[in-house]
Structure 1
Amino acid sequence: MDDRATSTQQTPPEAIVHGGDLDAISRRYPDAPRPWIDLSTGINPVPYPVPPIPPASWQRLPAASEERALRATATARYGVDAPEQIVAAPGTQALLQILPRLRPCSTVTVLAPTYEEHARCWRGGGHHVSLTDDVGRLADADVAVVVNPNNPTGRLLARETLVSLAATLRRRDGLLIVDEAFIDLYPANASLATDLPPATIVLRSFGKVYGLAGVRLGFAISAEDIAQQLREQLGPWAVSGAALAIGMAALADEAWLHQTRARLVKDCARIDGLLSKAGCVAIGGTPLFRLVASTGATDIAERLARRGIHVRRFPAQPNWLRFGLPGDEAAWQRLTQALGDAG
């Protein structure tokens, strides 16, 4: 890592619009009814029930044994060969900030459009970043980045495609990074973590499917030597005691995950029907969000915002809207009425 990218010319950070920006949307629409319904993220609106947190988790630094126990639980949940391959971090965003430090100045190709923080972080680390919508072009890079399933389109690349790409990159001393933030609700064999190819880092989010983004917990899965480098970069006590306790309970609860999958199938069918009636055309999505297109997308988003409902817009694709799922019947009814008014 001592020959990592050394560019010191700092460019201004790219302005990236994220979902969940309720402060900004509230300022823009001060007269909108409260509480806001935030459908701008892909976070499960029905969260895992947080278990009682032992007082000691707040009162002392997390013990190494607790962190190892969380990694062991994640090993079983994700079907990974060994806990040493797993890195626990305070959210996958923290890992995105660190990954560019692991490579010398490289050519990095990101399969796009996708979560824009990947490109921003690699550019910020002094790397040469390009975007492509052609999977074939990824093989020419030093580092290839794929979000699978993709955010916001929901595109899901076949495991065989990614394994082949990883093999090609390995022959050139390259690296494949696969962000699987939304894969928990897919069949286990959709994930690369269950049989990790060489020269591959898989990222897994905790907050999305478990609806607990504020816990700030995420994982990297890689060869043991890379995992150790990431742990060294994160430093000691990277994950809070409370996050360790919550993560262990949730990741071990297969029954809750099974029930959540079943509920989301029904919720997705319900919102698809509402969006279709409002004149939106489904163009992608995952079990946690839907991507639609409409020539009236801007007007729909404005009308919803004035009714206190926040959806994700895309400045580069003005006809796109991404809808998360309402969390209770009151929210469903507000969305139904607002879409009817917007239609």
Structure 2
Amino acid sequence: MDQQPAVATSGSPERLDQAHGGRVRAAAARYGVPFAEWLDLSTGINPHGYTVGEVPAAAWARLPELDDGLEVVAASYYGTSELMPVPGSQAAIQTLPQLRQGAARVGILEPSYNEHAKAWRCAGHEVLPLDADAIAAAMPQLDVLVLVNPNNPTGQRFSRDTLLAWHAELAARGGWLIVDEAFMDVTPDQSLADAATREGLVVLRSLGKFFGLAGARVGCVIAAAAMREGLAARLGPWTIAGPARWAAAQALADHAWQVRMRDTLKAAGQRLESLLNGYGLSPTGGTALFQWRQMDAPAVFQDRLGAQGILVRRFDAPASVRFGLPGSEAEWERLERALESL
């Protein structure tokens, strides 16, 4: 791996240490591999996502209604009615910092999903990047603690007892604990959703990863009423399109699919871990939906796979790459051939 592959010189060969996964068109321009030929492993989205049936015509023709059943099935799925559907958890991530009065000191795990830190900084708050081992010692300094659990991209998990203890410490002085559970659906028993009625505790959930419905842009905020009301006032009415609400309700209500998919993804995550182990790429961490590997020269590694039309997510701090799941046997075989060639 001492040489980088040639890349396309036509167009704009964007850097692919991007803020998010995806952007296959940018990869196609960079590496000269046609868009349709890419295997995108960069997002952590379930490649076996929920199959949405034919959307009723009324969902397209009418303004979205709050009594369409989405809140009811979401309450059953998450185990609490103290929730509010939002247009993707990203909407809540960007809006929550605006609800915090005064300049707060906000502890955020690093590395983690970078939109959290960005949103708090943009709202004028002070962000303190924290290593997981430093959180407990930093707690007396913090007004807000934001964690992704399991963490993206490292896969690190925090126990319910630890999180609830941190929440109690923050709440005692009016602080908040925000837990982004975008990758929690495979292990719902570890969720804090049932505890999020406590003041100062906010849980974010998404239908983009486990359900594979990233394009629908649907998530849920689980929190006490005052927090939800503040968010609703800023987001305004009709935030989720009617067809997206309908699709989300179908997915959240399909218990049999959820059970089967948890087993499928656990097996696939183990398979990906074993595959990487076999080529000297033992994961540093991961979840059922992705595996993360720290390494020297991740840009070179990304380029070598990119030249073969396989896109992985690259991180520079710490130097690492993240692999999502292939979706078919042909894709698994393609990834293995690519790893064998490195």
Give TM-score scaled by structure 2 length. Answer: 0.90
Partner of 1:279 in structure 2?
280
Q: Counterpart of 1:56?
A: 58
Counterpart position of 2:98: 101
- Identify if the C-alpha distance between structure 1 residues 33 and 54 changes in structure 2 by more than 3 Å, giving closer, same or farther: closer
Counterpart selection for 1:88 from 85, 95, 103: 85
Task: After superposition, give the CA deviation of every residue in 1:235-286 in whole Å (9 maximum; x if it has no partner).
Answer: 1101110111111110011111111111112212221122112221211111
Question: Does the Cα contact within 8 Å between 1:202 and 1:221 map onto a contact in 2?
Answer: yes
> 2:311 and 2:42 mapped to 1: Cα distance?
6
Deviation per CA, 1:202-261: give whole Å up to 9, x if none: 000111100110000011000011111111111110111011111111001111111111
Unaligned runs of 5+ in 2: 1-16
Cα drift, residue 194 of structure 1 = 1.5
Residues 37 and 138 of structure 1: CA distance in aligned 2, closer, same or farther (over 3 Å): farther
2:125 counterpart of 1:124: no
Q: Distance in 1 between matches of 2:168 and 2:289?
A: 31
Counterpart-to-counterpart distance in 2, 1:56 and 1:241: 8
> Are 1:33 and 1:307, in contact at CA under 8 Å, matched by a contact in 2?
no
Match 1:37 to one of 39, 64, 67 = 39
Q: Which amino acid aligns with 1:108?
A: V
Q: Does 1:194 align with 2:194?
A: yes
- Contact 1:301–1:313 under 8 Å retained in 2: yes
Give the Cα–Cα distance (whole angstroms) in 1 for the partners of residues 135 and 265 of structure 2: 29
The alignment partner of 2:284 has SS state of: strand
Q: Aligned pair 1:146/2:143, yes or no?
A: no
Seen in structure 2, the aligned counterparts of structure 1 residues 192 and 33 have a Cα distance that, compared at 3 Å, is closer
Post-superposition shift, 1:187?
Answer: 3.9
Q: Equivalents in 2 of 1:166, 1:209: separation in Å? A: 26
> Aligned equivalents of 1:33 and 1:106: distance in 2?
44
Give the partner amino acid of 1:332. Answer: W
What does the per-residue CA deviation read over 1:43-67, in whole Å, with 9 as the maximum and x for residues that have no partner?
001110102210111112112312x
- The separation in 2 between residues aligned to 1:34 and 1:77, in whole angstroms, is 36
Question: Does structure 2 conserve the Cα–Cα contact (< 8 Å) formed by 1:89 and 1:218?
Answer: yes
CA contact (8 A) 1:107 1:129 kept: yes
Aligned to 2:76: 76
Alpha-carbon separation, structure 2, partners of 1:194 and 1:138: 23
Identity of aligned residues (%): 43
Is 1:306 matched up with 2:307?
A: yes
Distance in 2 (CA, whole Å) between partners of 1:251 and 1:229 is 25
- 1:53 and 1:139 map into 2 onto residues whose CA distance is 50
Show CA shifts across 1:272-322 (max 9, x none): 12211222121111110001133464333211101100001102222x111
Instruction: Please report the TM-score for the alignment, with normalisation by the length of structure 1.
Output: 0.90
How many pairs align? 321
Superposition pairs for residues 157-306 of structure 1, below 5 Å? Answer: 157-188=158-189, 190-196=190-196, 197-295=198-296, 297-306=298-307
> Alpha-carbon deviation of 1:34?
4.1
Q: Does the 8 A contact of 1:166 with 1:198 survive in 2?
A: no
State the match for 2:339 in structure 1: 339
Encode CA deviations 1:87-138: one digit per residue, 9 max, x unaligned: 1111111111111110122111112210010000000011111111122124
Corresponding residue for residue 10 of structure 1: none
Which stretch shows the higher mean deviation, 131-140 or 198-207? 131-140
| RMSD (Å), alpha carbons | 1.5
CA contact (8 A) 1:166 1:176 kept: yes
**1:139 CA drift (Å):** 4.5
Greater shift in the superposed pair: 31-40 or 131-140: 31-40
For 1:335 and 1:225, locate their aligned partners in 2 and report how far apart those are by CA, in whole Å.
Answer: 48
The residue type paired with residue 302 of structure 2 is A
In structure 1, list runs of 5 or more residues that go unmatched: 1-14
Structure 1: distance between partners of 2:39 and 2:165: 42
